[in-house]
Structure 1
Amino acid sequence: MDRSTSLDIEALKMTQEQYILAAQPNPLHQRAPSMCGGAPAYPAVGVGIYGWRKRCLYFFILLLLVTMIVNLALTIWILKVMNFTPDGMGNLRVTKEGVRLEGESEFLLPLYVKEIQSRRDNPLILQSDRNVTVNARNDQGQLTGQLTVGTEGVVFSHSVETSHIRAEPFQDLKLESPTRSLTLEAPRGVEVNAGVGDFKASCRKDLLLQSSEGEIFLDASTIRLGNIPHGSAVDPLEGAPAGTTYTKQTVYELCACANGKLYLSPAEKGSTCQTTSNFCLWS
């Protein structure tokens, strides 16, 4: 047998061995070592989570369910307490004409509105633990008017236009300007009436009562003008110098200078205002 024949026999044997190996089951596929250790890994029959992982998953699902229930309960409680409705919430109602507040409301921040009015036949009350300040501004944001209500009364920084000013029952009404002048003006007249108490007007400089067309009418059972100076003149009988005053006189007549100042002159049968008019020269 030559060399080529022997090579064919060997090749035939190798082919048979390969066929036999391919037909037999491979033990490596049935029993492969695991990656974490040397224990063999068997083919898994089903896929799932077991042990502490399963318990943790159930715990997180339960926690999420409890959180959702608490959140829903708090939302319902807030809606109930705040009285949410399709028209608004609480005392606040949104209408076609604007915003409507019913009952008592509290504002913690500044409120900007165009108009505030109460319901018909009901008063409008603004209440604060400290002062209540209402500001009016123009288009540029500049302050044009301010109203401040504090413990001492109402303070206006500019002029005020109103038809009636009155105090609360059994309380005094006081109009005061500590640093400026106080002016009361009206096209048809100003009426000051104290129904029960006294009316008092005092100032540091001049008190001016002026009527452009009519007259100033003082109607009272008794009109008293205090601290009016006495006029002075030359006594023709005793030849007293100019400037002598009548100290023993008990009855006087009221005289007026050209500048409007008043003084007292001794009362006689006729008027003595001319003889005591020296007061008008130096007054």
Structure 2
Amino acid sequence: MEPAATLDVETLKITQDQFSLSSRSLRLQRPGCEAVYSVGLYGWRKRCLYFFLLLLLVTMIVNLALTVWIIKVMNFSLDGMGNLRLNRDGIRLEGISEFLLPLYVNEIHSRRDSSLVLQSEKNVTLNVRNDDGLLTGQLTVGPESVEAQSRRLEVRSADGGKLLFSAAEDEVTMTTKKFTVTGSEGAVFAHSVETPLIQARPSEDLRLESPTRTLTMEAPRGVEVSAVDGPLKASSRKDLHLESTEGEILLDGGAVRLGGLPLGVYTLSHAHASQDHDVYEVCVCPSGKIYRSPAESGSTCQAMSNICLWS
């Protein structure tokens, strides 16, 4: 039994030696081993990463500080910011507000205890547009004039019920009880004027004048010119026509004076024409011209008078 046991041990040694030789032969047959790299950032890459992280942290801190400062300065809150307040009815601005671009709103009104002021260095323009964006009305308040562009301009009373003034392209209407012109030169009308009454102020004169043209007063049922407490004067550089197509012209007064009537005589004798008379009679030519003639025991009006012949 001992030789057998010794053989087994030897056999095992030989087998172990063969395994070692075969392992060495396998190691010799493998290609060369590759280099092993360590995982991680080292050197300048690591320093750059830390630098960028530090820069990002500083930027976040600066942004947070600026955000807090803006919120503090602009007075941001849940109701709005600064002088701007948001409520259910709309937007409320307190103090002076400046708009650099157009403002589109449905209604602008001030507080109950203050007035609404619109101010601009050049002009203030209010535009009204339709659904298509076309301009339908415009009001411009400038340093020299106020211009309104619309189909019709209306001015109503304080309660908004009574129409006081309206202006359209072909008609201007005033429905007030009295229209007063206080200018020293009065009012100038380039075309016709239609009114039921023209009246001067108490203790002031009423003057209707056309310096270079004619002055015409017409009415379908008559024209009445009266002066209650003073004289009535109608003068013309050339002809003065009083015409009634279907009625009469009545001169009714305590005294009717026709001054400046030419003197008419039947003969052209200067001696006869130069005689002074205290009493004259009024004569009418067939053409309608009026002249005076010396009064005698009989009428001295002659159809062949020099006034009628040259009229």
TM > 0.5: yes
Would you say the 8 A contact 2:264–2:306 is kept in 1?
Answer: yes
**1:10 paired to 2:24:** no
1:34 — aligned with what? Answer: 44
Higher relative contact order (CA 8 A, sep 6+): 1
Q: Percent identity?
A: 37
1:76 — aligned with what? Answer: 92
| CA 80–167 in structure 1, closer or farther in 2 if over 3 Å, else same | farther
| CA 116–197 in structure 1, closer or farther in 2 if over 3 Å, else same | farther
- Equivalent position to 1:269, from 297, 300, 303: 297
- Equivalent position to 1:191, from 212, 224, 230: 224
Structure 1 residue 216: deviation in Å? 0.7
User: 3-state DSSP class of the match of 1:109?
Assistant: strand
Would you say the 8 A contact 2:167–2:173 is kept in 1?
Answer: yes
Would you say the 8 A contact 1:249–1:266 is kept in 2?
Answer: yes
- Equivalent position to 1:161, from 186, 194, 197: 194
Q: Deviations over 1:43-73 (max 9, x none)?
A: x9x9995336513432144325633522515
| CA 155–78 in structure 1, closer or farther in 2 if over 3 Å, else same | farther
Structure 1 residue 219: deviation in Å? 1.8
**1:50 paired to 2:91:** no
Structure 1 residue 162: deviation in Å? 1.6
Would you say the 8 A contact 2:200–2:206 is kept in 1?
Answer: yes
Would you say the 8 A contact 2:264–2:291 is kept in 1?
Answer: yes
What is the TM-score when the length of structure 1 is the normalising length?
Answer: 0.63
Amino acid at match of 2:255: T
User: 3-state DSSP class of the match of 2:244?
Assistant: coil
Would you say the 8 A contact 2:84–2:94 is kept in 1?
Answer: no
Whole-angstrom distance in 2 between the partners of 1:212 and 1:261: 18
User: 3-state DSSP class of the match of 2:215?
Assistant: coil
User: 3-state DSSP class of the match of 1:264?
Assistant: strand
The structure number with the bigger radius of gyration is 2
Whole-angstrom distance in 2 between the partners of 1:185 and 1:158: 14
Whole-angstrom distance in 1 between the partners of 2:57 and 2:303: 129
1:137 — aligned with what? Answer: 169
Gaps in structure 1 of 5+ consecutive residues: 93-106, 126-133, 139-143, 235-239
User: 3-state DSSP class of the match of 1:62?
Assistant: helix
Structure 1 residue 281: deviation in Å? 1.2
User: 3-state DSSP class of the match of 1:116?
Assistant: strand
User: 3-state DSSP class of the match of 1:55?
Assistant: helix
Amino acid at match of 1:32: Y
User: 3-state DSSP class of the match of 1:110?
Assistant: strand
Structure 1 residue 137: deviation in Å? 2.9
Would you say the 8 A contact 1:232–1:246 is kept in 2?
Answer: no
Would you say the 8 A contact 1:231–1:264 is kept in 2?
Answer: yes
| CA 159–116 in structure 1, closer or farther in 2 if over 3 Å, else same | same
Amino acid at match of 1:257: C
Would you say the 8 A contact 1:246–1:266 is kept in 2?
Answer: no
Q: Deviations over 1:12-39 (max 9, x none)?
A: 696xx77xx87xxx64x3442234xx74
**1:217 paired to 2:250:** yes
| CA 186–41 in structure 1, closer or farther in 2 if over 3 Å, else same | closer
Structure 1 residue 191: deviation in Å? 0.3
Q: What count of residue pairs does the alignment treat as equivalent?
A: 234
Would you say the 8 A contact 2:283–2:293 is kept in 1?
Answer: yes
2:309 — aligned with what? Answer: 281
2:273 — aligned with what? Answer: 245
Whole-angstrom distance in 1 between the partners of 2:30 and 2:173: 118
